[in-house]
């Protein structure tokens, strides 16, 4: 489990095909010194396992599924990535609960300065947009952010100068693909409601506002 508070940026030193997957070697600062083989870490929001670990460097294997469902397959030597180690029990939860299991890949549609920050709009697949709510939490390339605005097929976030400096989002450009993980809470709520109403909800898309109003769950 992670929090979406990025600890360091890393640099891809090697990307080597292995069977149907890829092995990445990532170099960073002191944060990687804590890793041992078998430990978990999040790279651009994707939960991975350290298969090799040395001072300031780690190797991770990307399966075919990871390559298919995330942006990591497009990482090139010299590319930057966000790194976070797992949350320790008892530590402060400064962001929100992030699993490292990516729901979908979005694309940056607009980037513009706004009062010293960056206003970034991200086009997002419908199956992920259903969990995006104004003022709710979302992880973009592993960064915990608050949804500032929402439209039919996209959402916007405000990137403060600190976040722009210490994560890869400061270099985001129109067309940049990003990993998106929606807030876990919404998924559980949807599941519980679907089970309660049985055959009335054959698909998650049946859970519309009209449906909730009819059953006294919304106004």
The pLDDT tens digits for 63-97 are 999 999 999 999 999 999 999 999 988 888 888 99
Cα 124 to Cα 128: distance, rounded to the nearest angstrom: 7
| DSSP track, 117-131 | EEEEEEE--HHHHTT
Asked whether the predicted pLDDT for residue 200 surpasses 90, the reply is: no
Cα–Cα dist 141/53, whole Å? 22
pTM score above 0.85: yes
In percent, the amount of the chain with pLDDT more than 70 equals 95
Domains, the chain, ordered by start: 8-84 (2.40.30.20), 104-182 (2.40.30.20), 185-214 (no CATH)
Of the chain, the percentage scoring pLDDT greater than 90 comes to 71
Which pLDDT score is estimated for 187? 85
pLDDT of residue 8: 95
Residue 115 exposed, middle or buried by CB count within 10 Å (0-12, 13-18, 19+): exposed
Q: Whose CA is closest to 138, among 152, 109, 158?
A: 158
What rounded mean pLDDT belongs to the chain?
A: 91
Sorting pLDDT into bands at 50, 70 and 90, what band is 185?
confident
Q: Which residues pair with 156 in a beta bridge?
A: 121, 149
pLDDT, position 132: 94
Residue 215 has pLDDT above 70, yes or no: yes
User: Cα dihedral angle (15, 17, 20, 21), rounded to 10 degrees?
Assistant: -20
- pLDDT (0 to 100) of residue 191: 78
Which pLDDT does position 210 carry in this prediction?
82
| pLDDT computed for residue 139 by the predictor | 98
Task: Report how far residue 190's alpha carbon sits from residue 140's, in angstroms, rounded to the nearest whole number.
Answer: 22
Bridge partner residues of 118 (DSSP): 113, 159
pLDDT at 85: 95
**pLDDT for the residue numbered 23:** 97
> Where is pLDDT greater, at 199 or 77?
77
């Amino acid at each position: 489990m992670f929090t979406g508070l990025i600890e360091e940026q890393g640099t891809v030193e090697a990307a080597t095909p292995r069977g149907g997957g890829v092995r990445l070697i990532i170099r960073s600062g002191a944060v990687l010194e804590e890793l041992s083989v078998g430990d978990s870490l999040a790279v651009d929001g994707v939960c991975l396992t350290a298969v090799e670990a040395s001072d300031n460097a780690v190797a991770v294997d990307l399966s075919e599924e990871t390559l298919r469902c995330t942006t990591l397959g497009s990482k090139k030597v010299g590319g930057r990535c966000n790194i976070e180690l797992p949350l320790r029990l008892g530590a402060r939860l400064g962001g929100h609960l992030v699993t490292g299991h990516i729901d979908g890949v979005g694309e940056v549609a607009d980037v513009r300065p706004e009062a010293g920050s960056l206003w970034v709009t991200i086009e997002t697949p419908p199956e992920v947009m259903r969990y995006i709510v104004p003022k709710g939490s979302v992880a973009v390339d592993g960064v915990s952010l608050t949804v500032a605005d929402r439209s039919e097929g996209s959402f916007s976030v405000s990137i403060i100068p600190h976040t722009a400096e210490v994560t890869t989002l400061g270099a985001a450009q129109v067309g940049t693909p990003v990993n998106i993980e929606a807030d876990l809470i919404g998924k559980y709520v949807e599941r519980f409601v679907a089970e309660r109403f049985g055959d009335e909800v054959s698909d998650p898309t049946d859970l519309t506002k009209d449906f909730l109003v009819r059953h006294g769950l919304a106004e």
